[in-house]
Amino acid sequence: MRELTYLEAVREAMSQEMRANEDVFVLGEDIGVYGGAFGVTRGMIEEFGPERIRNTPISEAAISGTAVGAALTGMRPIVELQFSDFMTIAMDNMVNQAAKIRYMYGGKGKVPMVLRTPAGSGTGAAAQHSQSLEAWMAHIPGLKVVQPSTAYDAKGLLKAAIDDDNPVIFYEHKLCYPKKSDVPEEAYSIPLGKADIKKQGSDVTIVATAIMVHKSLEAAEELQKEGIEVEVIDPRTLVPLDIETIVQSVKKTGRLVVVHEAVKRGGFGGEIASLIAESEAFDYLDAPIKRLGGKAVPIPYNPELEKAAVPVVADIVTAVKETLNRL
């Protein structure tokens, strides 16, 4: 074990898989000598060469279409989209091709590809480069959706995604890139569809994704000073979703707060809340489920307005206290 940043863990996962399997390659804009928009692929072209670290034209439709075709012929492509907002240009290939082919071919065809993309606000990238659109992709049968929050999870989940025979959308929050955690040197895999309890607690359950996991842990530390024990769960994958871990936690705590950066309206938090309301955990609830999400506005360029557009630690603290009638 040694400490790596999230960004380094993603790079290491790709490099280890490429050494182990010649069918794995990476394609995307400026991923070669430049090393990608956020430096994730930096140095990889020196080891693997331009045939396997393939710079592409500025066309997300061409990139995603090439990946679908390569996957159908037995390759295992890893797409890097510079920003998750650009999924809008790749939607036809991902939604109407990658997600549908296995079903339409009666299971005889498969599309083993990963589409990695940085997501979220906090870097001053403004309205067209800062969105959190994971709920869109979670709505599509045939796609798997992964959203790790730590370096350890990112490496293990990316290996599992590359090895999977289905198309996987792999969201990497930009603010998670510099965050460090202990990561094994050897390759390892974390099963898709297995949540992780980041902190044990008995009073309230928080289910959070991506950077909101870290903000929820900060909120839990503050609340602990007041004698409130919060359990923090990171689903890690939205599709498949480990709802059973959340159900068991809510049965224990009797309260649930769901937090994501994506706009609250239509966000995946609504799905989690509905599943709990439909489950055996509903009878154990002692307070209404609370949902926190981004405001229904484009992400502003102004730094203070950008912060105001998404949940912060203080918002999470307040939500938890509201469920406990402690305000």
Catalytic residues: 129
Smallest Cα–Cα separation from 38: which of 47, 29, 46?
Answer: 29
Q: How far apart are CA 141 and CA 95, in angstroms?
A: 9
Angle subtended by helix axes 243-253 and 268-277, to nearest 10:
60
Beta strands per DSSP E along the chain: 2-5, 24-28, 53-55, 76-80, 114-119, 144-146, 168-173, 180-183, 196-199, 204-208, 230-234, 237-239, 256-263, 290-294
SS (H, E, C) 152-173: HHHHHHHHHHHHCCCCEEEEEE
Q: How far apart are CA 172 and CA 122, in angstroms?
A: 13
Residues 6+ apart with CB under 8 A from 234: 149, 150, 153, 195, 196, 198, 207, 208, 209, 213
Smallest Cα–Cα separation from 230: which of 321, 157, 97?
Answer: 321
Q: How far apart are CA 61 and CA 55, in angstroms?
A: 14
Q: How far apart are CA 10 and CA 188, in angstroms?
A: 12
